[in-house]
Amino acid sequence: MNFRTKRHSIRSLNAANILLALICALVLAACGGSDTDDTAETAPPEAAAAGDVLASAGDTGTVLSGRVTFDGPRPERAVLQTREDPKCTAMHVDGPLLSDREIVGEDGGIKNVFVYIKEAPEGDYPAPAEQVVLDQIGCRYVPHVLGVQVGQEISIENSDPTLHNVRAFARANRPINNALPKDSAPRVQKFKNPELAIRMKCDIHPWMTAFLFAMDHPFFATTGESGAYTIQGLPPGDYTLVAWHEEYGEQETAISITDGEGTVADFVFQPPS
């Protein structure tokens, strides 16, 4: 074999090796790739695993609900004197501003009762991404009783055409003391620690009060006009349920949550002695 023939044979061998490598690659691709790639596609993300407790509880349809009612003569809402600020008075020309301290409906339902699980099941309950709004409308706080999770943002706003001051008398958290002039931007706050019944007030309008609950779990609710409440997603188990009202005090009751079944727990408050 001369030199030219030997070099031609080497070129032919290299071409055959390249062709063989290409054929192997095509075969592997047709078979779906490597085991490593399959594992990466099918493994569940860590974020989904972190919420398994809440997601599975919600999927079972467990619902805790009930009503908070008043046993006694229906109290009348107190009339608040707003003459210290004529702008507040002008916002209530159709009738006086009434207190939110005692609101009992015609059917006995009590509004603004905070209902919550005293000791939640162990688990990771991350703060919701959505903000909770505490507004000032008609020289009153709206809502009057509000629950948030620790770390959840609270947007404190002023929808009134007058100056307000927002003060929170927190003990386990840093107190809040912000002035909110007319048309001012919302003040966003967070609570770092659990704390019950944080009293809010306005230093400019002394009749303005509200209560904030900073919770380390999501199992709470505030009663509406009918006195009803609903708490969803509570895992099966035995719990202590608490109902709090600023005027009528606090009650506790033992409850049992069964997987897939609704639970009803009612409270009845009486006039303070």
**Over the stretch 160-178, which tens digit does the pLDDT of each residue have?**
999 999 999 999 999 999 8
The C-alpha atoms of residue 154 and residue 142 are separated, in whole angstroms, by 13
**97 and 26: one domain?**
no
Residue 218 lies in a domain: yes
DSSP letter for 201, please.
E
> CB–CB of 207/85 below 8 Å?
no
**177 and 227: one domain?**
yes
The C-alpha atoms of residue 202 and residue 168 are separated, in whole angstroms, by 9
**23 and 86: one domain?**
no
**205 and 265: one domain?**
yes
Minimum mean pLDDT range among 1-5, 6-10, 49-53, 237-241: 49-53
**120 and 238: one domain?**
yes
> CB–CB of 212/168 below 8 Å?
yes
The C-alpha atoms of residue 209 and residue 102 are separated, in whole angstroms, by 13
**240 and 158: one domain?**
yes
How many domains does one find in the chain?
Answer: 2
| pLDDT score at 84 | 87
Q: What CATH number does the domain containing 130 carry? A: 2.60.40.420
The C-alpha atoms of residue 128 and residue 190 are separated, in whole angstroms, by 12
Let me know how long the chain is: 273
Residue 48 lies in a domain: no
Tens digit of each residue's pLDDT (9 = 90 or more) over 10-52: 344 344 444 444 444 433 333 333 333 333 333 333 333 222 2
Residue 49 lies in a domain: no
| pLDDT score at 215 | 97
Instruction: State the residue range of the domain holding 32.
Output: 3-42
DSSP letter for 107, please.
T
**220 and 121: one domain?**
yes
pTM check: above 0.95: no
Inform me whether the pLDDT recorded for 108 exceeds 80. Answer: yes
**31 and 161: one domain?**
no
**34 and 133: one domain?**
no
pLDDT band at 61 (very low <50, low <70, confident <90, very high): low
**15 and 110: one domain?**
no
The C-alpha atoms of residue 181 and residue 184 are separated, in whole angstroms, by 5
**30 and 137: one domain?**
no
